[in-house]
Structure 1
Amino acid sequence: MRHRPSGPSAVRFIRYRAAPPAGTATHGALALRPPAPPPVRPPGLRLVRPADGMDAEVRAVADAAVRLIAEVLAGARPAAQLSLVAAPPVCREMTRLRASRPGRGARIVPPKILSTRLQRPTPAAAEATAVVVVAGRVHALALRLDHSRGRWRCTALETTAHAP
């Protein structure tokens, strides 16, 4: 007795059927199975383009936050300027880190942003990740952005970089 799975499978096996005998007419039509109809998308899903409404605003804030944080980590910008895109606890922590490691008078190399990614786990929250080059070393950034009081702000930050 053969057991067949009850649900659809990712792999489908098709049995080979021998060609009809030579004397059988097909009336000019190809003896092929008609193509399957295209899959139907479940309701509620839609294609979202990067510049659609609210997502464009989140993307702009995330890009600005990544750029500002990378510049603060590189020593090219004071941490107080993070208040434009970050919540007060993030600004205080970056200011504290920056104060504990003063610059050594070395030439400041502007940071370079290699890539950024953005996702929205909920309508009022977004998570951004970035790969940046600070002082010649590659580092990762992870930001949590929350929508509150009509604007997006960075409320949490994790990074592999240390303030200068």
Structure 2
Amino acid sequence: MRRRTDKPAAVRFVRYRPMPATRGALALRPAPPRTHPPRPPGLRLVRPADGVEAEVRAVADAAVRLIVEVLAGTRPTHQLSLVAVPAVCRELLHRAAPSLAGRRVVPPRVLSCRTQRPARAIAETTAVVVIAGRVHALALRLDHTRGRWRCTALETTAR
């Protein structure tokens, strides 16, 4: 068996697989009755009115928008260097769509974007986006280092 000596990639593309049909039956199992009071969630949704949280939210929204435009081919990859680490930029450079300059293109859209803070210097963002008329999922990890937030990992279903 051959061992991998290189580090895992910063960007991971996930192939979409549809769920099997349920033939009219509900695919949900009824929830068991609660015997203890519910715990407060460990993660919380970032609200735009929070001080530092507003900065994280703004950076996350900008990063999602930039990455979606790079994946769609409407923005050059080198512009990601403002919000992403070099490893993410390199991976997207090899996998991004060719430039569509001069062609009529439907611009990509961000349908929804959610941000959570599992730790003080870490933010995780998920987004639902439309690229070339297809809906895709996007997940980013933002780390706060040297006074700024940067995308250090990316996972998407977009090709």
For the superposition of Structure 1 and Structure 2, which TM-score range results when normalised by the shorter chain?
0.5 to 0.7
- C-alpha spacing 1:81/1:116, structure 2 compared with 1 (3 Å): same
In structure 1, give the amino acid aligned to 2:55: E
Instruction: Look up the match of 1:146.
Output: 143
* Root mean square deviation, CA, Å: 2.3
Alpha-carbon offset, residue 109 of structure 1: 1.5
Q: Which has the higher contact order (CA 8 A, sep 6+)?
A: 2
Structure 2 portions without partners, runs of 5+: 1-33, 41-45
- For 2:99 and 2:150, locate their aligned partners in 1 and report how far apart those are by CA, in whole Å: 27
Q: How does 1:149-160 map to 2 (within 5 A)?
A: 149-160=146-157
Q: Indicate which of 27, 50, 53 corresponds to 2:51.
A: 53
- For 2:65 and 2:35, locate their aligned partners in 1 and report how far apart those are by CA, in whole Å: 45
Instruction: Look up the match of 1:66.
Output: 64
Which of these two proteins has the greater Rg computed from alpha carbons? 1
- For 2:156 and 2:35, locate their aligned partners in 1 and report how far apart those are by CA, in whole Å: 41
* 115-124 or 50-59: bigger deviation: 50-59
Instruction: Work out the percentage of aligned pairs sharing the same amino acid.
Output: 72
- For 2:144 and 2:150, locate their aligned partners in 1 and report how far apart those are by CA, in whole Å: 7
* Structure 1 consecutive aligned stretches of length 4 or more whose deviation exceeds 4 Å: 8-11, 103-106
Paired residue total:
118
In structure 2, give the amino acid aligned to 1:121: P
TM-superposition CA deviations, 1:47-92 (whole Å, max 9, x none): x743211111100000000000111111110011001111110011
Q: TM-score, normalised by structure 2?
A: 0.68
Q: Is the 8 A contact 1:75 1:108 kept in 2?
A: no
Structure 1 portions without partners, runs of 5+: 1-7, 12-41, 43-47
Q: Indicate which of 98, 104, 111 corresponds to 1:102.
A: 98
Q: TM-score, normalised by structure 1?
A: 0.66
In structure 1, give the amino acid aligned to 2:50: D
Q: Indicate which of 118, 123, 141 corresponds to 1:121.
A: 118
